[in-house]
Amino acid sequence: MNGPLAANGVFGEQFGFIVAFFVGGLFGFFLERAGFGSAKKLTADFYGRDMAVLKVMFTAIVVAMVGVMYLGIFGRLDISLVTIPPTFLWPQIVGGLIFGVGFVMGGYCPGTAVVAAGSGRKDALWFLLGILVGIGVWAEGYPLYKEFYVSGSYGVYTLSQWLGLPSGVVAFAVILMALGAFWFATYVERLMAAKALRGKDQSA
Amino acid sequence: MSKTIATHEPKGTDIGLPHGEPKPYWNPYAAGVGLGLTLVLSFYLMGNGLGASGAFTRFVAFAEAMFAPRFVAGHPYWKTYLGSEPILKDWLVFEILGALVGGIVASLTAGRFKVESEHGPRVNAKQRAMLAFAGGLLVGFATRFARGCTSGQALTGGSLLSVGSWAFMMSVFAGGYAAAWFVRRQWQ
């Protein structure tokens, strides 16, 4: 059977919601297993103590990227039917910067906060409440940044279109970059562990 | 005789949760492979990636439409959520409910389910709650500019090589590292 199964009429809308629930279940399960139900673990990435966030994210991106390409090459997945998020460059950069500040301050991102709430974390409930209020506040200010919201619009715009390179070459570069990031992350972890050890020696 | 009774006595307040030390977290690369395969499955089955903030936006739209339907109908942003379909009838809503159940199952089976507020020794639970709420507020606000979060943009769009998603992801790390120093006391 060729994917996406929903778009190819293999199952209907009702069954699609059951599928969505189970796919979400796997998502939450793996996030928890990665340790992402803990704000302490998540934010440790930003202090170089534990770079699991970077490692997990880049691994997931590489696996999904290769998986989609593989299925596409063998005709198992029609990539033209897969929703690629369109690019609105400026609001995505500004949104990302604010998001990063909120992430390190609040200790979670939306998906991990759901998993943390499911693990019993009370601070995650406060974070989730904050998200809902933040979305509401943004919507009230919408007329102020209506134009900014659609600025830098490139539609569906991929790295291979931007660079003018075949997607296989871009994927290879992404894999190399991920491997470099893994090496760097491990290096930083060791550096910070050694620093913490020295700090203990001095205080003793 | 007293011995046999004693062995059946419950220890502490047993509410049926697994005992003992929590299991260690998975190796990050193994967890990453699991997440990546989940994403591939999502593309293959639904033609959509994963997401989280989109579901929350629908929750807010739903709540506002329930209490102030006329306000929402005339609102420049919220009116786009009003259609022939109910606001919550969306695949992301079902997916995020699944993620909640997945998180509960995973934390219970790893012995990690615990009702607590995580923070370092230099802040109390109240201060942690305030930081969590303020951080959540910024994150919720930011997701509407970015049209997604770490799930819908960084993971999903990143794996599909979307330029905007990569710009978002790099900006998240930049913002996080820039702000980390100011809130470091939270965990020290």
Domain for residue A58, yes or no? yes
Point out the residue among B91, B138, B159 whose CB comes nearest to the CB of A98: B138
Chain A residues 145-184 within an 8 A CB cutoff of chain B: 145-146, 149, 152, 154, 156-162, 167, 170-171, 174, 182
* A130 & A184 share domain: no
Q: Would residue A20 count as lying in a domain? A: yes
Same domain, A89 and A147: yes
Q: Are residues A114 and A141 in the same domain?
A: yes
Q: Is A48 on the interface with B (CB under 8 A)?
A: no
Residues paired with residue A88 on neighbouring β-strands, in sequence order: A153
Answer yes or no: do A94 and A133 share one domain. yes
The confidence score (pLDDT) of residue B21 equals 85
What is the SS3 string spanning chain B? Answer: CHHHHHHCCCCCCCCCCCCCCCCCCCCHHHHHHHHHHHHHHHHHHHCCCCCCHHHHHHHHHHHHHHHCHHHHHCCCCHHHHCCCCCCCCCHHHHHHHHHHHHHHHHHHHCCCCCCECCCCCCCCHHHHHHHHHHHHHHHHHHHHHHCCCHHHHHHHHHHCCEHHHHHHHHHHHHHHHHHHHHHHHHCC
Instruction: Say which residue, B8 or A150, is predicted with more confidence.
Output: A150
Residue B156 has pLDDT above 70, yes or no: yes
Where does chain A have alpha helices with state H? 13-33, 39-43, 52-73, 89-106, 110-118, 122-141, 146-149, 159-163, 167-203
| Residues of chain A contacting residue B135, judged by C-beta atoms under 8 Å apart | 101-108, 127, 130
Residue B94 has pLDDT above 70, yes or no: yes
- The number of beta carbons lying within 10 Å of the beta carbon of residue A2 is 15
Q: How far is A92 from chain B (nearest CA, A)?
A: 4
Q: How many domains does chain A have?
A: 3
Mean pLDDT of chain B: 91
A106 chain-B contacts, CB cut-off 8 A: 131-136, 138-139
In a domain, A175, yes or no: no
Which residue among A23, A43, A62 places its CB closest to the CB of B36? A62
Closest alpha carbon to A14 in B131, B91, B174, B92: B91
Among the partner residues B26, B36, B46, nearest to A63 by beta-carbon distance: B36
Kindly tell me the sign of the dihedral angle through the C-alpha atoms of A47, A34, A20, A120: negative
Is residue B19 pLDDT above 80, yes or no?
Answer: no
CB atoms B177 and A121 under 8 Å: no
Is the pLDDT score of B18 beyond 70?
no
Please state, in angstroms and rounded to a whole number, the distance separating the CA atoms of residues A121 and A115: 9
Predicted pLDDT at B11: 46
Which residues of chain B from 136 to 165 reach within 8 Å of chain A, CB to CB? 136-165
Q: Are residues A141 and A95 in the same domain?
A: yes
Mutate to test the interface with B, among A41, A99, A123 (most CBs of B within 10 A): A99
Chain B residues with beta carbon closer than 8 angstroms to that of A110: 52-53, 56, 139-140, 143, 149-151
Looking at residue A203, its pLDDT comes to 61
Is A6 a domain residue? yes
Are A126 and A150 in a shared domain?
A: yes
| Averaged pLDDT for residues A73-99 | 97
A92 and A148, same domain (yes or no) = yes
Q: Which amino acid is at B18?
A: P
Question: Does A165 reside within a domain?
Answer: no
For residue B26, CA distances in Å to A24, A104, B29, B156 come to 19, 22, 8, 22
Residue A175 has pLDDT above 80, yes or no: yes
Predicted confidence band at B9 (pLDDT cuts at 50, 70, 90)? Answer: very low
Backbone angles phi, psi at A158, to 5 degrees: -100, 165
Chains A, B: CB contacts under 8 A, how many? Answer: 540
* SS3 at position A158: strand
Mean pLDDT (whole number) for A134-158: 98
Does A93 reside within a domain?
yes
When pLDDT is averaged across residues B93-113 and rounded to a whole number, the result is: 97
Phi and psi dihedrals of B116, rounded to 5?
Answer: -160, 170
Cα end-to-end span (Å), chain B: 51
- Name the token pair of B112: 């990690």
Q: What percent of chain A has pLDDT over 70?
A: 99
A93 and A118 belong to one structural domain: yes
Task: Collapse the DSSP code of A44 into the 3-class scheme (helix H, G, I; strand E, B; otherwise coil) and give the result.
Answer: helix
Q: To the nearest 10°, report the CA torsion of B29, B34, B36, B38.
A: -170
Q: What is the pLDDT of residue A199?
A: 82
Name residues 52-91 of chain B within 8 A of A (Cβ): 52-53, 56-57, 59-60, 63-64, 75-78, 91
B15 contact A CB<8A: no
Closest-CA residue of chain A to B53 = A110
Mutate to test the interface with A, among B25, B91, B161, B188 (most CBs of A within 10 A): B161
- A48-80 b/e with 16+ CB inside 10 Å = b? bbbbbbbbbbbbbbbbbbbbbbebbeeeebebe
pLDDT value, residue B12: 46
Q: What span, in angstroms and rounded, lies between the C-alpha atoms of A105 and B28?
A: 23
Output A200 or B158, whichever has higher pLDDT: B158
Q: Same domain, yes or no, for A71 and A93?
A: no
Asked whether residue A106 is domain-assigned, the answer is: yes
A126 contacts chain B (CB < 8 A) = yes
A169 or B9, greater pLDDT: A169
A93 and A53 in one domain?
A: no
Q: Is the pLDDT of residue A121 over 90?
A: yes
Residue A52 lies in a domain: yes
Domain extent, residue A26, equals 1-33
- Is the same domain home to A28 and A59? no
